[in-house]
Amino acid sequence: MENQQGKKTLNPKHMLIQVMEQGVLKVNVRLPFFLVKMGLKFGRMAANANHTGSGDKALEYLKDVDLDAVLQSLDNGELSLPLLLVDVDEPENNTHVTLLLE
């Protein structure tokens, strides 16, 4: 598939999630990207719905996630794969979390 400039478009295939605790890899999950997109879509719909529950605060964060902007930047060549989306280090808990598009 090519974009308007005739360049091959970059479509992520996976999202890699890694969590290190105390220097030990605790989570190493590779999700198909179409599932990530679908989950964000449904999460945004739930965040926009007016209902109460324990996950409401977490769903609020999804309102501002603009995955389309990331995909557009990949398509335009402004970003490239692999793309590090999240890199969080919590020294007080000795935890490190990364999210990577591949």
Print pLDDT tens along the chain (102 aa).
554 555 566 789 999 999 999 999 999 999 999 999 898 888 777 777 765 565 566 666 666 778 888 888 888 889 899 999 889 999 999 999 999 999
56: in domain = yes
How many domains, the chain? 1
In the block, residue with structure tokens 């890694």 = 18
Contact partners, residue 32, CB within 8 Å, separation at least 6? 13, 14
The pairing of beta strand 95-101 with beta strand 83-90: antiparallel
Helix axes 33-48, 67-76, angle to 10 degrees: 140
94: in domain = yes
- pLDDT for 90 equals 92
Task: Report pTM.
Answer: 0.75
29: in domain = yes
CA atoms within 13 A on the CB side of 61: 3
- Domain range for 56: 14-101
The H or E element spanning position 47 is helix 33-48
The H or E element spanning position 100 is strand 95-101
8: in domain = no
38: in domain = yes
